[in-house]
Structure 1
Amino acid sequence: MRHQALHGAERPFSCAECGRGFCDRAALATHRRGHTGERPFACTECGKTFAASAGLLVHQRRPHACGDCGRRFRQRAHLARHRLAHTGERPFPCGECGKAFALSATLLRHRLVHTGERPHRCPDCPRAYTQSAYLAQHRRSAHTGQRPHACPDCPRAFADPSLVEHGRRHTGERPHRCPQCHRSFRHRSALLRHRRAHAGERPFPCAHCGRRYSRSSNLLLHQRVHTPQ
């Protein structure tokens, strides 16, 4: 509801540089820093500066940064586990299919694919999930309408922790960098899709004709060829 109200809201505060309109002066001030290069929000620990307060908050909540991709973590132990993704080490193999994982917890979640088990059931509808976090997100968005993660720089709010990624729209941060061409992305998922182009990976096959695609969205578009209108 809060986000939908944004579409119909008046935007009386316009940027003199580009003409873009905003609901309040604070949002306009944050936007104008993109033109001026001003970064008034500084981290007291390391001195890094940000154009928007949201960027500083994200930085302070996750002080441990990965030197390879820039992804940040609250705890040093979480960073150490993440770095296994860069080293390629996968010491936990699945006994059913042989697929190996960097983390034992990831292996346990993967094994639910073989068992079909979805132990986390919604008490309000028949939906069930493999992880409690997915159930919590489902209940907030589908049943309670709660959006506890509010953006400090615009009226948007979120049911899940995607506020962190949304905040990068205000800060301009693109922490996920391709090691081959150095192009950077806001979201890790976008980087993974991009890297498939370098590797030539096409992990999404069509069940009708076997043609393969690098993105699931492209596969869905292709499948319309096989679906009678």
Structure 2
Amino acid sequence: MNNVTTKITVKITQRRIDFPEEMQKEIRKTSYHCDICKKSFSQKSNLTTHKRIHTGEKPYHCDICGQSFSRGSVLDIHKRVHTGVKPYHCDDCDISFSQKSHLTIHRRVHTGEKPYHCNNCGKSFSQRSHFTIHKRIHTGEKPYHCDVCGKSFSDGKMYSNDKTSILGSGNTLYLTYH
């Protein structure tokens, strides 16, 4: 690559991307590949962390509650549950959050940003989880199934409402997620 330093970021998607042959050779030389799913990483440490998805290994343990995590950074965020530390502050309303991503989502209340747009009906959503549930209206997907009444639901909250009306409070109901 003629004395030029090139940083290549590749996100694996459903699309096939054809790189020039010279670049393909360079990528193969500097990549670490998962032998299970064939995903590639530029750093060996990222491959090591990724493999924990397949093995279920969670080497980072919370010394307060014993919960385990596959990444140390996730353990650090988790510990804020116990300490109450909320380092991310909203400048508009002075609410604080333990995770930066929660502040990012909250800020949309003030900005009106709705980055998740439904191509079927034109509705937009500020949170990905709300968009995911909404899309099920169009697909008909109902992944939450009540084993007691036989009904299926597109939203886990609707399932929760149903189980309360069927059993009343204090009873156990088993949910099957498909």
Report SS of the residue matched to 2:106. helix
Question: Which consecutive residues of structure 2, in runs of 5 or more, have no partner in the other structure?
Answer: 1-7, 17-35, 42-46, 171-178
Q: What's the counterpart of residue 191 of structure 1?
A: 131
Higher relative contact order (CA 8 A, sep 6+): 1
Where in structure 1 do 4 or more consecutive aligned residues deviate above 6 Å?
Answer: 102-107
Q: Distance in 1 between matches of 2:147 and 2:15?
A: 32
Work out whether residues 86 and 96 of structure 2, in 8 Å CA contact, stay in contact via their aligned partners in 1.
yes
1:123-142 equivalences under 5 Å are: 123-140=63-80, 142=81
Deviations 1:192-222 (A, max 9, x none): 1100110000111223344211111111222
Q: What's the counterpart of residue 180 of structure 1?
A: 120
Superposition CA RMSD, Å = 3.5
1:93-108 equivalences under 5 Å are: 108=51
TM-score by length of structure 2 reads: 0.62
Question: Which consecutive residues of structure 1, in runs of 5 or more, have no partner in the other structure?
Answer: 1-75
Report SS of the residue matched to 2:133. helix
Q: What's the counterpart of residue 9 of structure 1?
A: none
Q: What's the counterpart of residue 144 of structure 1?
A: 83
Work out whether residues 208 and 226 of structure 1, in 8 Å CA contact, stay in contact via their aligned partners in 2.
no
Deviations 1:142-200 (A, max 9, x none): 22221111112121110011111111111111111011111101011111110011000
Q: Distance in 1 between matches of 2:105 and 2:75?
A: 21
Q: CA deviation at 1:135?
A: 2.2
Q: CA deviation at 1:109?
A: 5.6
Q: CA deviation at 1:133?
A: 4.2
Q: CA deviation at 1:227?
A: 5.5
The verdict on how the C-alpha distance between 1:125 and 1:151 changes in structure 2, with shifts beyond 3 A counting, is same
94, 97, 101: which one aligns with 1:158 = 97
